[in-house]
Structure 1
Amino acid sequence: MATTKWSVDPAHSEVQFKVKHLMITTVTGYFQKFNVEVETEDDDFTKASKVLFTADVDSINTNNEQRDTHLKSEDFFDAANHEQVRFEGKGFDKVSDDEYKLNGDLTIRGTTKPVTVNVEFGGIVVDPYGQTKAGFTVTGKINRKDYGLTWSAVTEAGSVVVSDEIKLNAEIQLVKQA
């Protein structure tokens, strides 16, 4: 069996998170700079020997500069001391023909915890330029406080400003490396 290396196609991939604000609306943020490296046995992603995702904290974008600066501060990600978010996959569990659970370790702000995300496999195709590509939709949830992102505030009426639950969403297209 041959080892196949895959890397992210950033032009056709995105990584976002969603969090409730004031418990009445959802704010969406993106990591604009991220990397994904995968090594598989041939083209079998269930036998991946390496799944590594990293995102640069300084690339957070919520379409609000003041909020982005706050997220990069010590109150949240502490970008000055913790430059990256990191996920290292430990194994795939097949749920159905195109649905999997990916288990791994997520590190945020120097704290590493096991996490499981849902992965929908979109398939493998050869694009018009002869490149072999694989597509995935990744979803999951984490509790931000598990990773030391504990800043909180309460409105005068007693509403929580930022929820603890963070929804994770990623559309990932990988390119097979020669």
Structure 2
Amino acid sequence: MTTGTTNALTAGTWAIDPTHSTLGFSVRHLMVSKVRGRFTDFSGTLVIGADGAASADVEIRVDSITTDNEQRDGHLRTADFFHAEEFPAATFKSTGFRVNGGDFVVDGEFTIRGVTKPVTLDVEFLGVNPGMGQGPVAGFEAKTVINRRDFGITIDMPLPDGGAVIGDKITLSLEVEVALQS
């Protein structure tokens, strides 16, 4: 990434700090509201080269899903949804970074249930802070919308009067803090 956006990021490997990061999602429920959830077990890196080129890799343990409803979370882990036993991780690997004003767009390949599709993340760069004695940290917020059916999550749960229990569009929202590794 050779933009003004990364000039504040020192070349090197920046690791996601899961304690200060959230990988969340929302999906339409009963056609009138949204269910929100998050994954609690994930890791990843942002690598900034000396030339400013960047790459990002993230792994999400799908069995760490929580929507604050144990019954629903158990169902989401089954073959109806994530099939966590056979496909324990979802992954994201960047394929390109583009400038978008003071922020950027990250293109990549997202894999769920063994199905890989291109996605584009709109990323807001929140800046770099010297940290609290452990080295610099940087913050980002990112969003994208995917269609669950594109990834083989095709369960239909129709409502008797039309519509469905869950929508097809999933909004992924990431609030990520990364720390420069020594």
Give the secondary structure class of the aligned counterpart of 1:69: helix
Contact 1:4–1:43 (CA under 8 A) maintained in structure 2: no
Query: What aligned pairs does 1:60-99 form with structure 2 within 5 A after superposition?
Result: 60-97=65-102, 99=103
Contact 1:141–1:168 (CA under 8 A) maintained in structure 2: yes
**Amino acid corresponding to residue 20 of structure 1 in structure 2:** R
Q: CA 1:165 to 1:59, structure 2 compared with 1: closer, same or farther past 3 Å? A: same
| 1:128 to partner: Cα distance | 2.5
Q: Which residue in the other structure is 2:159 paired with?
A: 155
Q: Which residue in the other structure is 1:59 paired with?
A: 64
Q: Which residue in the other structure is 1:104 paired with?
A: 108
Percent pairwise identity:
38
Runs of 4 or more above 4 Å deviation: none
Contact 1:20–1:163 (CA under 8 A) maintained in structure 2: yes
Provide TM-score, normalisation by structure 1. Answer: 0.93
Give the secondary structure class of the aligned counterpart of 2:85: coil
Q: CA 1:9 to 1:43, structure 2 compared with 1: closer, same or farther past 3 Å? A: farther
- More divergent stretch after superposition (83-92 vs 2-11): 2-11
Give the secondary structure class of the aligned counterpart of 1:67: helix
Query: What RMSD over aligned residues (CA atoms) do the two structures have, in Å?
Result: 1.4
Q: Which residue in the other structure is 2:18 paired with?
A: 10
* Matched positions, count: 173
Give the secondary structure class of the aligned counterpart of 2:14: strand
**How far apart are the structure 1 equivalents of 2:87 and 2:48?**
29
Contact 1:19–1:165 (CA under 8 A) maintained in structure 2: yes
Give the secondary structure class of the aligned counterpart of 2:58: strand
**How far apart are the structure 2 equivalents of 1:119 and 1:36?**
16
**How far apart are the structure 2 equivalents of 1:129 and 1:13?**
19
Q: Which residue in the other structure is 2:135 paired with?
A: 131
| 1:95 to partner: Cα distance | 0.8
Residue deviations 1:124-144, cap 9 Å, x none?
A: 110132410010001010000
Q: Which runs of 5+ in 2 are unaligned?
A: 1-9
Contact 1:90–1:105 (CA under 8 A) maintained in structure 2: yes
Q: CA 1:101 to 1:157, structure 2 compared with 1: closer, same or farther past 3 Å? A: same
